[in-house]
A = this chain, B = another copy of it.
Amino acid sequence: MLRAVNEPVNAPRSQPVDESPDERDAAPRPPQRLRSLVSWQAGKVSTIGARATARHMPLTARADFAVLAALEEFGALSQAELGRRLGLDRNDISGTVTRLDATGSVDRRADPGDRRRNLVTLTDAGAARLQEIQHAADQAQAELLTGLDQAERRALQALLAKLLDAHRPEPA
């Protein structure tokens, strides 16, 4: 049943090193106190995912992907609304949209009905770019999930989704 992980945590030893010979070359384990912190685990998983991602695309493509995906799924949005959907600061959205606009992936223009807003629209080029990034992301995802079988992947994803649902109303 996947071993409880939670266990005691209170087993500090004090020999300077020790290293029994059969784990000399094995991977050094992080301390139990960290291994039992979900927030630490999630952070590590995130950076491993980032490393895998970086092998398939420039890092900045991650922000692009988020914006493009939102536009594809919800249609044209203002930048503030993008921020709310994605859980990002509107400050940071600004830069990403600028980049996407410069490469023609997106069309940004003042909303005629409310000139405070910028209406951001997905272009055909943007849709194509979205597909590219999705492809790279799938590969990175596959690398990240090595070691988990189908059922475990689905379970993990479902649990993370449920956790996130419980926290959603905090955009930034």
B44 A87 Cβ-Cβ under 8 A? yes
> Shortest distance in angstroms between A86's beta carbon and chain B's nearest beta carbon?
6
A39 B34 Cβ-Cβ under 8 A? no
A36 B5 Cβ-Cβ under 8 A? no
A84's partner among B28, B50, B157 (CB-CB below 8 A) is B28
Instruction: Indicate how many identical chains form the complex.
Output: 2
A156 B147 Cβ-Cβ under 8 A? no
> In the docked arrangement, what's the CA distance between A157 and B4, Å?
8
**Contact mask for chain A residues 139-156; partner B; CB cutoff 8 A; 1 contact, 0 none:** 011101111101011111
> In the docked arrangement, what's the CA distance between A63 and B52, Å?
23
B39 A141 Cβ-Cβ under 8 A? yes
> In the docked arrangement, what's the CA distance between A70 and B3, Å?
21
> Shortest distance in angstroms between A59's beta carbon and chain B's nearest beta carbon?
12
Cβ of A116 < 8 Å from any Cβ of B? no
> Could you list which residues of chain A lie within 8 angstroms of chain B, going by C-beta atoms?
2-6, 9, 11-18, 27-46, 48-53, 62, 65-66, 69-70, 72-77, 81, 84-87, 119, 134, 137-138, 140-142, 144-148, 150, 152-170
When A28-B84, A30-B85 are in contact, do A152 and B147 touch as well, CB less than 8 Å?
A: no
> In the docked arrangement, what's the CA distance between A38 and B148, Å?
12
B27 A169 Cβ-Cβ under 8 A? yes
A33 B134 Cβ-Cβ under 8 A? yes
Interchain residue pairs with CB less than 8 A apart (10): A2-B145, A2-B162, A3-B141, A5-B161, A38-B49, A38-B141, A44-B87, A45-B160, A155-B155, A156-B160
Query: Which of chain B's residues have a CB closer than 8 A to the CB of A86?
Result: 30-31, 34
B74 A17 Cβ-Cβ under 8 A? yes
